[in-house]
Structure 1
């Protein structure tokens, strides 16, 4: 692949991280295109599904809702869960190491763009019991 191809990726271009609750297409990351300061991708969550409360030690996260509706929880500085309804256009900031979760409460699939800074928290997802790879060839 020409070197310039590493700059442009659709979620279907890369192997996706699959889970019981949905999938993550990591389109920007050190192992995908050499990004060094952050990683990013698109999360797909079917209706009624969501990921459990978790955190990313040492990393901040930005969540941007592209499509669908749901509930987003982020713990505040005292550890108290703060939950809000989110929909297209909503940005959510998850401070470093803060617990958070997402639940699709709508009738359509949620698509979420996320950014981790620094890169790396996404690698720990490979250790989850329901983790599996969905080859890019199977997405088209």
Structure 2
């Protein structure tokens, strides 16, 4: 019985090693992909820079970053981020005409592997409240 159990454990360990994901991987500096900007007055521009490290073993390339509306603009590191190096995604939210609670998202398409296989894209979120002028 012990030999059978040892054999099963060996097979399981081998399978886990083979399953380990290889490729580029996002690791955000603050371990947080949501930024709460608190409360700002309408007309202000909220700017947040998400800093990330490529925690993978291959260069990470951001292919596209799309905002959920025209009031939000993403800018990102255009060159491949080598393993162990850092890059940034700067998001600017123009609050003009956007009074009230706000949640803005930027969807990132890249060559990074995701821990959750059901996700094909990575989403960054800005949230907070905009007070009327």
TM-score range, shorter chain: 0.3 to 0.5
Taking structure 2 as the reference length, the TM-score comes to: 0.34
Taking structure 1 as the reference length, the TM-score comes to: 0.33
